[in-house]
Amino acid sequence: MNLIIDAGNTHVKLAVFKNGSIVYNSSSAVVDLIEKAKEIYHKYPQIDWAIVSSVVSLDENDIDALTVFFKVHVLNQHTKTPFINRYATPKTLGVDRIALATAAYYYTAHKNTLVIDAGTCITYDLITEKGEYLGGAISPGLQMRYNALKQFTSKLPLLSLQAPDKLIGNTTESSIHSGVVNGVCAELDGIIDQYRSEFKDLTVILTGGDTLFLSKRLKNTIFALSNFLLEGLNYLLDYNKL
């Protein structure tokens, strides 16, 4: 059994995999990570390995504490990957994008695949039918766009995500919702169309925190897979155990 740890800025996702399937899934604050890992260990003593993926560096003391319970692999740019990495600056490639590319490599083997991760940022990652990772794009996510309108203007309010009632906003608030949500959806559909014009039989996978919200609003056919990154991390852990 494997323990998967995906740590963000304030929260961490934890999942237990058995024979390639998730049997446990939860989240906690980063400060509670060790206590949560200890709780999981007592519930699933068969876990022997854990993988840690962190967009911000976890304290070394946290990693050391985890090794009390499991053998730990910390995902970084030196981790072995099953795909051929064609990224021009592999040392700068985010660990989240490495995990997503790995998930795509196994999920749609020998097919052109575009993975879109809609979270704090929106990332686009392409794996070709030859198993080559080419890169993609990074743009601001939904909430980041709301935050930017507040931060970089003097009078616009900070709003939370909300589906616009119509295309044309007739108040400041409805105009912001229309601009942010419809703008992101137009970006996603437009980018997908561009990739499909270059890569035949393209499979598109949407994942990340805003998956459910966005998947209902796209014109293109996609696969919405909320646990795709966790699955990629599990594949990477198994691949690096060998």
Residue 89 marked as a ligand binder: no
CB atoms within 10 A of CB 149: 16
96 is catalytic: yes
Is 117 flagged in the annotation as binding? yes
Which position among 48, 59, 96, 193 bears the catalytic label?
Answer: 96
Q: Which helix (H) or strand (E) holds 26?
A: strand 21-29
Helices (H), the chain: 33-43, 60-66, 95-107, 142-151, 172-177, 183-198, 211-215, 228-241
201 is in an annotated binding site: no
Which residue in this structure is represented by tokens 């809609």? 118
What spatial distance separates the first Cα and last Cα of the chain, rounded to whole Å? Answer: 15
Q: Binding residue per annotation — 11?
A: yes
12 is in an annotated binding site: yes
- 131 a known binding residue? no
Q: Is 23 annotated as a binding residue?
A: no
Residue 42 known to bind ligand = no
Closest CA to 135 of 195, 186, 193, 185: 195
Contact 125, 119 (CB under 8 A): no
Is 9 annotated as contributing to ligand binding?
A: yes
Q: Quick one: which of 204, 197, 200, 202 has its CA closest to 224? A: 204
Quick check: 64 and 44 in contact, CB under 8 A? no
Q: Which two tokens stand for residue 13?
A: 């996702």
Extract the tokens encoding 169: 């906003």
- Is 7 annotated to bind a ligand? Reply is yes
Local structure of residue 153 (DSSP, 8 states): S
96 known member of a binding site: yes
87 is in an annotated binding site: yes
Return the active site residues. 96
Residues making up the binding site: 6-13, 87, 94-97, 117, 120, 172
Q: Annotated binding site for substrate: which residue ranges?
A: 87, 94-97, 172
| Residues placed in the known binding site for ATP | 6-13, 120
